[in-house]
Amino acid sequence: MRKMSVFFIAMIIIAITNCSTPTVKYMSTKPILTGKNVKYELVNSSVASGNAVFYIFGFQIGDYKNYSTLLDAAQSKNSCDLAKNVQLNYARSEQAFIATESYSVVAECWKLTSGGK
């Protein structure tokens, strides 16, 4: 029983280690305005980064830390990427997700990239 417990704990530690330092792609998106919330549809993955929001068994691991870098990357890639308070729900789908409370950052990105063209 003890060996099983040690094995289980080791597996959790390995999972957390692997998932907390990923090469994550910000997802280039086009906005669909729905009131105060902004729904995003995946267009292409373009910008690699380690700063992303991950949830494993309900625990948050990592977050977006540098908005200016995000906007710079969006400008250089000429696309609007994910911004503040975005949760990537891999369990449900990597193809569609909802971003809330990030409208101002995304709007700024959209302005800087001339409408995300």
Q: What is the DSSP string of 61-83?
A: E-----HHHHHHHHHHHTS----
pTM of the model: 0.18
| pLDDT tens across the length of the chain (117 residues) | 566 666 656 555 555 544 443 333 343 444 444 444 434 333 333 333 333 443 344 444 444 333 444 444 544 444 444 443 333 333 333 333 333 333 444 555 555 555 544
Question: What is the C-alpha R_g of the chain?
Answer: 16
The residue behind tokens 């040690």 is 6
Q: Cα 63 from chain centroid? A: 8
Q: For position 6, what pLDDT does the model report?
A: 63
Q: How far is CA 20 from CA 24, 55, 59, 77, in A?
A: 10, 10, 11, 25
